[in-house]
Amino acid sequence: MAALFTVRQGTQKFQTLMAGAAEVGLLFAGSVALTAAFAQVSGGVSKLSSSASTAPLYQFPGAPKITLSTHGNILVFQTSAGAGGASHMAGEGYILCYGGTQAFDRASSEIGFAPPTTAFCSGSTCTVVRNTVDNIFQLKQVITKNSPEERSINIEMTLRNLLGAPVSGIVLRRFADFDVDAYGSGTGSTINWWGASEFDSVYAWNAATNHVGPDSAMLMRHLKKVPGTIPYGGKVTNWFDNACSPFNLASGSWAQGDYAATIQYNIGTLGGGQSAVVKVQYQRN
């Protein structure tokens, strides 16, 4: 595996390029460990120390080509299962805030999560389980790729309070840096059009007038939340925004730029031993 940093529109993006990709169903080996970040406090949020990994865990069978990291991040979302085809996602991950503490994992950088206790894949499903480094929460991710004609993948996250006491101020976000048609055999441009519905979805697309060649779109949408009373919403954000509740750049109208999609779940308070479940889907047109 080789890592390549590219600079576009004045921002630096991290892409993971995998040489010698295995055939369908192969479990990858290897890891990339980045230097652990020291604990820091920024804007009243404690960022716990941790390490990051872009190590590929599994390539799901069939098209589109979707590869998962050992920490549950989508590393590759590409049109075709082979070496060709345009790639539509430059980064993906999750952010957890609680009681003034923040933990996140965007594959290329990570703070606040311990190494996985479970990282297992079989067929169309992977399960990744990990705790926060302070052992207050367990995050279980079940990632399921749907049939090829649906061109989509579901991610269900179960957050469990491991303490015997309530924890408040809980926010859980899933996010993706869509760069539609940008890499592989794509356009090379990370500029897309963006929109967000009031609650359920965020989407990015290339307009036919933007460039010569086929144009695609990517959708992130909410599927499930338990309890059903959890407030939630989709937003368009800056691709590097790790805030607990970022500003929605598409709150008033369409937006055009190098942005990211997120669905934010304001879970609030979980009692000791209680869990909350949320589920999102990524889909290519």
SS3 percent helix, strand, coil of the chain, rounded to 5, is 0, 55, 45
Per-residue pLDDT band for 54 (boundaries 50, 70, 90) equals confident
191/210 Cα distance (integer angstroms): 10
pLDDT tens per residue, range 127-165: 999 999 999 999 999 999 999 889 999 999 999 999 999
247/40 Cα distance (integer angstroms): 23
- Report pLDDT for 48: 45
- Report pLDDT for 270: 98
Q: Do 18 and 76 form a contact (C-beta atoms < 8 A)? A: yes
Average pLDDT, the chain: 80
Identify the CATH assignment for 2-284 out of 2.70.98, 3.30.70, 1.20.120, 2.120.10.
2.70.98
Q: Is the model's pLDDT at 222 over the cut of 60? A: yes
Q: Pick the range with the lowest mean pLDDT from 29-43, 188-202, 235-249, 270-284.
A: 29-43
- Report pLDDT for 19: 31
Task: Please state the pTM of the whole predicted model.
Answer: 0.81
Q: Is the model's pLDDT at 14 over the cut of 90? A: no
CB burial string 208-238: b at 16+ within 10 A, e below:
eebeeeebbbbbbbbeebeeeebebbbbbbb
Q: What is the 3-state secondary structure (H, E, C) of 129-146?
A: EEEECCCCEEEEEEEEEC
Q: Is 198 exposed, middle or buried (0-12, 13-18, 19+ CB in 10 A)?
A: exposed
- Report pLDDT for 275: 98
Q: Do 183 and 15 form a contact (C-beta atoms < 8 A)? A: yes
For the record, the structure tokens of 13 come out as 């993006």
Q: Is 23 exposed, middle or buried (0-12, 13-18, 19+ CB in 10 A)?
A: exposed
Q: Is the model's pLDDT at 35 over the cut of 50? A: no
Distance from the Cα of residue 191 to its chain's centroid: 19
Distance from the Cα of residue 90 to its chain's centroid: 10
- Report pLDDT for 213: 62
Residue 255 identity (one-letter amino acid): A
- Report pLDDT for 94: 98
- Report pLDDT for 197: 84
- Report pLDDT for 227: 98
**What are the extents of the domains in the chain?**
2-284
